[in-house]
């Protein structure tokens, strides 16, 4: 207690009374006893035997202060996993003059408590270590809460890393604070590069899009938002969910490009079905009077007093035949039209129309390349497939400037027979891609808009699928027939 008594000075003289108030020994001992902090002094090095420990240690660990005077009492009660850490702190104290550490200490009841200890090395007049002074605090409740919080955060992280959807978090300065594995895969950028960076610096174009607007709305209103968005960087459709919080935004999204494409295909089929039903009901009614008019025009054209107008009659008959051809195409859209399916080889049908294809290309000063690979026979309606082939080829030829080359290929891809028609045009206008195959939709001055619609109808009747890729260097249409149905 000699060290403590040096801190306690009685007020005896008038001079002393003018000094700052000091604590008496009784006052100091009371404060030490009631403090939640344990104060101690001990020898510097050796067995670090205590010289003084405040009596409140009983309330914290259940031991009397005198218990710590026993050799190695302190070290024997440190958690085995923390012994090396405590030894390192003691070495640091001797080398640097101060040290601190967090470790577990066994209480009198056998349980362990997390504690924090800080100590300072004191020196004598010869500048040699004389003793250690410090304090010791029970931080068990706080530490266990930190551990629990860390485990909870780890569980959340594990969940976010295992989900198949994308997730990232932004702080209030729009900087990435977390990116899960799926989001990293979607961005195709290493997340260590993204973390800490502003999203608008990484993806500046998005700030002017719906994504930027909805992010700002969520942050301002503190209300979640959900919307569908087509990325300007990845050309993919995403279903976005943005959840605001006081410290930023959590963004959860999934790639729905496949679903959107399927929705477009279903919408296209619905339009085809609707037009097909109309075709079935109207085409026959229109064709009958046209046949009658055509017959009378032929008769009138042969009359002597009308022969001077014969060329006009011929022109009218030609136009009626063209209208009849459009009606035939219109009728082919009918949903209830039956396909005359027989075993055919797609290459044989292609060879049968190859001369006609080459003639069309020659007339428009364009080139055609036909490449075929060995294929299995399929159940096909030869007439329908010829029409599909010619429609796709003529669309491709019309899309190209003179000198362009059209490539028609057949090949086997796993369980599918594929017909590919590739042109060297300028690509399909993005504004009509979603409506492609809709009857009467055309970008050509003289087109009817039925060619592709007919192709989709023929493919549907054959259980085939039509897909395409398009860009500034041209467009390729793929018709895929399944072979496993044979």
Residue 464's CATH number: 3.30.565.10
Specify the pLDDT at position 457. 83
- The rounded distance, in Å, linking the Cα atoms of 90 and 258 is 63
Handedness of CA 132, 133, 138, 143 (dihedral sign): negative
In a domain, 17, yes or no: no
Domain boundary among 255, 289, 312: 255
Scanning the structure block, which residue is given the tokens 């960087």? Answer: 233
Which has the higher per-residue pLDDT, 466 or 153? 466
Summarize the confidence of residues 351-356 as an average pLDDT: 89
Exposed / middle / buried, residue 485 (Cβ in 10 Å: 0-12, 13-18, 19+): exposed
pLDDT score of 306: 80
Q: pLDDT higher for 80 or 292?
A: 80
User: Do 301 and 322 fall into the same domain?
Assistant: yes
Phi and psi based region of residue 34 (left: phi greater than 0; alpha: psi -120 to 50; beta: remaining) = alpha
| Beta carbons of 349 and 383 less than 8 angstroms apart | no
Provide the 10 A C-beta neighbour count for residue 319. 11
Considering the domain architecture, whether residues 441 and 359 belong to the same structural domain is answered as yes
Residue entry with tokens 């979603």: 434
Same domain, 365 and 465: yes
| Residue located via tokens 């604070």 | 177
| 288 in the same domain as 271 | yes
| 17 pLDDT more than 90 | no
Q: What CATH number has the domain bearing residue 64?
A: 3.30.450.20
Asked if the structure places residue 25 within a domain, the reply is: no
Residue indicated by tokens 């075709």: 279
Residue 299 lies in a domain: yes
Rounded to whole angstroms, the Cα distance separating 277 from 279 reads 5
pLDDT for 401 equals 92
Question: DSSP letter at 21?
Answer: P
User: Averaging pLDDT over each range in 102-106, 162-166, 432-436, 455-459, which range is the top one?
Assistant: 102-106
Inside any domain, residue 170: yes
- What is Dmax (Cα atoms) for the chain? 154
List, for residues 214-259, the tens digit of each pLDDT value. Answer: 999 999 999 999 999 888 888 888 999 999 999 999 999 998 888 8
Q: How many domains does the chain have?
A: 4
138 vs 31: CA distance, rounded Å: 17
Whether residue 359 is found in the same domain as residue 477: yes
Residues 362 and 478 in one domain: yes
β-sheet bridge partners, residue 87 = none
Q: Are residues 308 and 250 in the same domain?
A: no
Give yes or no: residues 375 and 449 share one domain.
yes
Q: Cα(131)–Cα(133) distance, rounded to whole angstroms? A: 7
pLDDT digits (tens, 9 = 90+) for 412-450: 998 899 999 999 998 887 777 666 655 555 555 555 557
Q: 171 and 102: one domain?
A: no
What is the span of the domain harbouring residue 78? Answer: 35-144
Q: What is the CATH number of the domain that holds 306?
A: 1.10.287
Q: Is residue 8 part of a domain?
A: no
Residue 301: pLDDT band (50, 70, 90) is confident
Q: How far apart are CA 264 and CA 434, in angstroms?
A: 6
In a domain, 379, yes or no: yes
Residues 185 and 137 in one domain: no
Of 304, 331, 358, which residue sits at a domain end? 331
Structural domain includes residue 13:
no
Which is more confident, 361 or 336? 361
pLDDT at 81: 94
Q: Of 104, 101, 82, 32, nearest to 41 (Cα)?
A: 32
* Between residues 23 and 112, the one the model is more confident about: 112
Measured torsion, CA atoms of residues 398, 400, 402, 404, in degrees rounded to the nearest 10: -130
Give the tokens for residue 142: 């706080």
Measure the CA–CA gap between 343 and 362, rounded to whole angstroms: 32
- Give yes or no for a contact between 417 and 378, defined as CB atoms under 8 angstroms apart: yes
Cα separations in angstroms, 115 against 112, 120, 139, 401: 9, 17, 5, 82
26 is a domain residue: no
Co-location of 237 and 209 in the same domain: yes
CA 480/CA 334 separation, integer angstroms: 21
Q: Report residue 27: phi and psi, to 5°.
A: -65, -45
Which residue's entry shows tokens 């942050």?
219
Task: Please say which residue of 296, 331, 366 terminates a domain.
Answer: 331
Cα atoms found within 13 Å of the Cα of residue 404, Cβ hemisphere only? 20
pLDDT for residue 161 is more than 70? yes
The total of other beta-carbon atoms located within 10 Å of residue 458's CB is 26
Torsion of CA 293, 295, 300, 301, to 10 degrees: 110
d(CA 50, CA 119): 13
pLDDT over 70 (residue 20): no
Q: Do 377 and 309 fall into the same domain? A: no
Does residue 71 surpass a pLDDT of 80? yes
Q: Which residues contact 332 (CB under 8 A, 6 or more apart)?
A: 384, 387, 454, 457, 458
| pLDDT given at position 486 | 42
């Amino acid at each position: 207690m000699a060290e403590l008594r040096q801190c306690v000075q009685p007020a005896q003289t008038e001079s002393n009374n003018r000094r700052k108030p000091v604590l008496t020994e009784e006052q100091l001992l009371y404060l030490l006893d009631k403090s939640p902090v344990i104060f101690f002094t001990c020898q510097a090095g050796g067995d670090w035997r205590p010289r003084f420990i405040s009596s409140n240690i009983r309330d914290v660990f259940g031991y009397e202060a005198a218990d710590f005077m026993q050799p190695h009492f302190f070290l024997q009660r440190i958690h085995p996993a923390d012994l090396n850490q405590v030894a390192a702190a003691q070495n640091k104290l001797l080398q640097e003059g101060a040290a601190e550490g967090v470790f577990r200490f066994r209480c009198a009841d056998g349980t362990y408590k997390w504690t924090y200890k800080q100590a300072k090395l004191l020196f004598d007049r010869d500048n040699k270590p004389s003793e250690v002074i410090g304090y010791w605090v029970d931080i068990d409740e706080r530490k266990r809460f930190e551990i629990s919080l860390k485990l909870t955060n780890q569980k959340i992280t594990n969940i976010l890393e295992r989900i198949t959807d994308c997730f990232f978090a932004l702080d209030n300065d729009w900087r990435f604070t977390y990116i899960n594995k799926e989001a990293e895969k979607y961005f195709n950028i290493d997340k260590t590069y993204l973390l800490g960076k502003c999203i608008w610096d990484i993806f500046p174009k998005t700030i002017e899009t719906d994504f930027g607007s909805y992010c700002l709305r969520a942050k301002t209103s503190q209300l979640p938002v959900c919307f569908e968005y087509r990325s300007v960087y990845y050309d993919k459709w995403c279903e976005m969910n943005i959840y605001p919080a006081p410290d930023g935004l959590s963004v959860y999204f999934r790639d729905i490009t496949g679903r959107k494409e399927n929705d477009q295909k279903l919408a296209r089929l619905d339009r085809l079905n609707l037009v097909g039903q109309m075709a079935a009901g109207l085409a026959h009614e229109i064709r009958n009077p046209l046949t009658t008019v055509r017959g009378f025009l032929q008769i009138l054209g042969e009359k002597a007093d009308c022969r001077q107008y014969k060329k006009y009659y011929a022109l009218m008959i030609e136009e009626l035949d063209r209208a009849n051809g459009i009606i035939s195409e219109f009728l082919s859209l009918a949903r209830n039209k039956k396909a005359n399916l027989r075993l055919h080889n797609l290459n044989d049908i292609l060879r049968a129309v190859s001369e006609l294809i080459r003639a069309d290309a020659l007339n428009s000063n364009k080139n055609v390349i036909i490449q075929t690979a060995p294929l299995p026979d399929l159940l096909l309606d030869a007439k329908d497939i010829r029409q599909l082939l010619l429609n796709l080829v003529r669309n491709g030829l019309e899309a190209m400037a003179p000198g362009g080359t059209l490539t028609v290929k057949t090949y086997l891809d796993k369980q599918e027979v594929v017909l590919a028609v590739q042109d060297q045009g300028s690509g399909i206008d993005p504004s009509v891609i979603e409506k492609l195959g809709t009857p009467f939709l055309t970008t050509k001055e003289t087109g009817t808009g039925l060619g592709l619609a007919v192709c989709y109808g023929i493919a549907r009747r054959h259980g085939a699928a039509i897909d395409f890729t398009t860009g500034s260097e041209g467009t390729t249409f793929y018709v895929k027939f399944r072979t496993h149905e044979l």
